[in-house]
Amino acid sequence: MSETTVLDGDDLSRTLARIAHEIVERHPDPSELVVVGIHTRGAVLAARLQRRLSELLDREVPLGDLDIAFYRDDLATRGAGGADPAGPVIHATHLDAVPVEGASVVLVDDVLYTGRTIRSAIEAIFDYGRPGRVQLAVLVDRGHRELPFRADYVGKNLPTATAERVNVRLEEVDGRDEVAIERGDAHPDDPEAR
């Protein structure tokens, strides 16, 4: 197993600044803007983006976070709630105080891969209200979609093999900011590994 760093802390900070500016450009009426992050690292990124957006717009942009564990379509196989130690960790969802109804929700996650997390997140949001629209911001799009989603704001497009993993590390969770590609040990003749 080997790892290559593709974004360091400065790159990550510049990337978030760019995404914040893109969001502002595409929201002529910022009063409808709401930011919602997906646990765990998507919520951390959403909080950072919300701080930048609030500064740029000179108004407090509403911020929420959600845990999609109970909405996953693979809940039965992954387990949840702690019965299976390999299952997803359940966090609280904080959307009650967020004006989702009619809003322009910018959903934030660290990695976009199959798209299943995003499908679950949209389902979760609709339990709290009917947004006017939902846009997606991700730090990394690594390809390999299994559902028809694309991101509106992408920090970095990172073509990957399925045997690889993108590791997003954030100061608040991991002690440092970094994006790295971890290479698996797939056989070199395996077309999926290229």
Ligand X SMILES: O=P(O)(O)OC[C@H]1O[C@H](OP(=O)(O)OP(=O)(O)O)[C@H](O)[C@@H]1O
d(CA 153, CA 25): 12
| Segment contacting ligand URA by CB under 6 A, of 6-14, 131-139, 163-171, 185-193 | 163-171
Q: Is 165 helix (H, G, I), strand (E, B) or coil?
A: strand
Check binding of 38 to ligand X (CB under 6 A).
Answer: yes
d(CA 108, CA 110): 7
Number of Cα atoms under 13 Å in the Cβ half of residue 113? 13
Check binding of 41 to ligand X (CB under 6 A).
Answer: yes
Check binding of 51 to ligand URA (CB under 6 A).
Answer: no
* Among 161, 166, 170, 179, contact with ligand URA (rule: CB under 6 A): 166
Question: What Å distances lie between residue 111 and 41, 57, 127, 146, 156, CA to CA?
Answer: 9, 26, 23, 14, 10
| Segment contacting ligand X by CB under 6 A, of 3-11, 25-33, 36-44, 91-99 | 36-44
* Among 71, 113, 128, 153, contact with ligand X (rule: CB under 6 A): 113
What is the H or E stretch that residue 38 is in? strand 33-38
Check binding of 40 to ligand X (CB under 6 A).
Answer: yes
Check binding of 79 to ligand X (CB under 6 A).
Answer: no
What is the longest distance spanned by two Cα atoms in the chain? Answer: 54
Q: Of 63-92, which residues contact ligand URA (CB under 6 A)?
A: none
Q: Is 56 helix (H, G, I), strand (E, B) or coil?
A: helix
Minimum Å gap between C-beta 164 and ligand URA is: 7
Check binding of 142 to ligand URA (CB under 6 A).
Answer: yes
> What does the per-residue mask of binding to ligand URA show for 109-138, with x meaning CB under 6 A?
--x-x-------------------------
The answer to whether 46 and 34 are in contact (CB under 8 A) is no
Cβ closest to ligand X, residue 38 vs residue 100: 38
DSSP strand pairing (165-169 vs 178-183): antiparallel
Which tokens sit at 132? 């006017």
Residues that bind ligand URA (CB under 6 A): 111, 113, 142, 165-166, 168
